[in-house]
């Protein structure tokens, strides 16, 4: 098959995958599984479907290496995408429209269906070139990453089926970047979802009662937001990246029954991403002290409490990092290693002791993850396949 035909096929497969509306919440993954099985057949590779939870399939395509006893390589991607505001899109978000500039519009075009297709198409080309790799390659397609991965990768890494894959190193998603550099994630912050509940004496809205839930509510919010300001100021130093600080964002407020009634309880929710160098016990004690300072009957509840996970080492002792870096150097790719400011499934892989890197081969590209008019240029997409054709053999032969 000519290179032009391979490019056409890659773009066609990318757009077909984008047209599957695997949008949260309550995703039906059936069409994704059908599509992935079709790709496996076109590669003449075996595919397995694991289902830990009903309706939450984990699909794995396997390309066996000629030294399969060596720990294998995992190329991971998630099938689900986030919701859309339909009226804000230039083109329908699940039509995979390609405009005259070659920009392919679609929810998931950056996050991260492009990467999954780049895995597939790079392996297609490697096989057509008669290349064999030492280590076995597994391409995984997992559900529910966009809602935390609880029934997806988090559950999968705890199973015997995952252990049987004998993973030695994993690649997962990164982000596009608007400069010449390529972003590389080697660790992540820990996500905490925290609710603060402030109770007090209800009463008439004209009274200046002492045990007032609103006063306590204000004191709590003030503490959190002053901490947020201090962390935000750290970012004025260009050497400090978003993943290096602890982010705090007020995201939800509950309480009150009527404008002239002092509420018995007011509650506020915060999305917190704790930097890797922060002591979790001390951080929780700080929250506890803020609640105590606010007054009696103020309590906190941590709904999501990710434990700290060790970062992937970027040193000579990590043979996979060395191989990855050498491949990028040979391709003249400028890497910018950072802590991921959000969250990806790679944290669950690292949690079980497997080194993992997050990488999306798209530079000079506007960052549009979860945004309106998410899109990726076809030339950037195709170049990404070429990049993976260098990286995958490098890490598989490490």
Residue with tokens 């709904």: 303
- For residue 250, what are the β-bridge partners? 270
Buried-state track 337-349, b at ≥16 Cβ within 10 A, e below 16: bbbbbbbbbbbbb
- Distance separating alpha carbons of residues 307 and 305, to the nearest angstrom: 6
Selection from 352, 355, 353, 349 nearest residue 324 by Cα: 355
Instruction: Considering the candidates 80, 146, 173, 188, report the single residue annotated as catalytic.
Output: 80
Q: Which of 103, 111, 121, 145 is catalytic?
A: 145
Active-site residue flag, 330: no
Determine the Cα–Cα distance for residues 168 and 270; give it in Å rounded to an integer.
Answer: 36
Say whether 229 is catalytic: no
Nearest to 54 by CA among 155, 148, 151: 151
CA neighbor of 378 nearest in space, from 179, 107, 98 = 98
Alpha-carbon gap, residue 389 to 313, rounded angstroms = 23
Q: How far apart are CA 73 and CA 363, in angstroms?
A: 24
Cβ neighbours for 289, distance < 8 A, ≥ 6 positions apart: none
3-state secondary structure of 90: coil
Annotated catalytic sites, by residue? Answer: 80, 145
């Amino acid at each position: 098959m000519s290179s032009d035909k391979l490019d056409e096929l890659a773009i066609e497969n990318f757009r077909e995958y984008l047209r599957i509306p695997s949008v949260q919440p309550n995703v039906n993954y059936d069409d994704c599984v059908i599509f992935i099985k079709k790709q496996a057949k076109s590669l003449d590779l075996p595919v397995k479907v694991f289902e830990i939870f009903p309706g939450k399939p984990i699909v794995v395509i396997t390309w066996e290496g000629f030294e399969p006893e060596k720990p294998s390589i995992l190329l991971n991607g998630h099938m689900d995408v986030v919701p859309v505001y339909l009226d804000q899109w230039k083109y329908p978000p699940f039509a995979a429209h390609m405009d005259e500039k070659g920009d392919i519009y679609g929810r998931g075009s950056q996050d991260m269906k492009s990467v999954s297709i780049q895995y597939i198409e790079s392996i297609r080309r490697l096989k057509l070139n008669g290349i064999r790799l030492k280590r076995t390659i597994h391409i995984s397609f997992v559900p529910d990453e966009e809602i935390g991965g609880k029934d997806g990768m988090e559950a999968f890494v705890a199973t015997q089926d995952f252990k049987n894959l004998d993973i030695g190193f994993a690649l997962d998603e990164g982000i596009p970047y608007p400069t010449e550099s390529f972003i590389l994630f080697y660790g992540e912050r820990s996500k905490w979802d925290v609710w603060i509940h402030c109770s007090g004496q209800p009463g008439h809205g004209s009274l200046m009662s002492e045990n007032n839930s609103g006063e306590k509510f204000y004191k709590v919010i003030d503490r959190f937001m002053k901490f947020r300001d201090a962390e935000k100021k750290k970012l004025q130093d260009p050497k400090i990246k978003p993943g290096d600080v602890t982010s705090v964002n007020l995201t939800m407020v509950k309480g009150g029954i009527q404008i002239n009634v002092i509420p018995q309880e007011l509650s506020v929710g915060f999305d917190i991403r704790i930097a890797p160098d922060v002591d979790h016990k001390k951080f929780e004690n700080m929250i506890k002290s803020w609640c105590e300072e606010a007054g009696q009957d103020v309590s906190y509840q941590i709904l999501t409490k990710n434990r700290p996970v060790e970062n992937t080492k970027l040193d000579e002792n990590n043979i996979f990092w060395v191989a990855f870096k050498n491949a990028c150097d040979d391709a003249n790719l400028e890497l910018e290693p950072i802590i991921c400011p959000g969250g990806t499934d790679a944290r669950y892989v690292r949690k079980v002791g497997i080194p993992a890197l997050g990488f999306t081969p798209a530079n000079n590209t506007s960052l549009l993850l979860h945004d309106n008019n998410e899109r990726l240029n076809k030339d950037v997409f195709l170049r990404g396949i070429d990049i993976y054709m260098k990286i995958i053999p490098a890490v598989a032969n490490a």
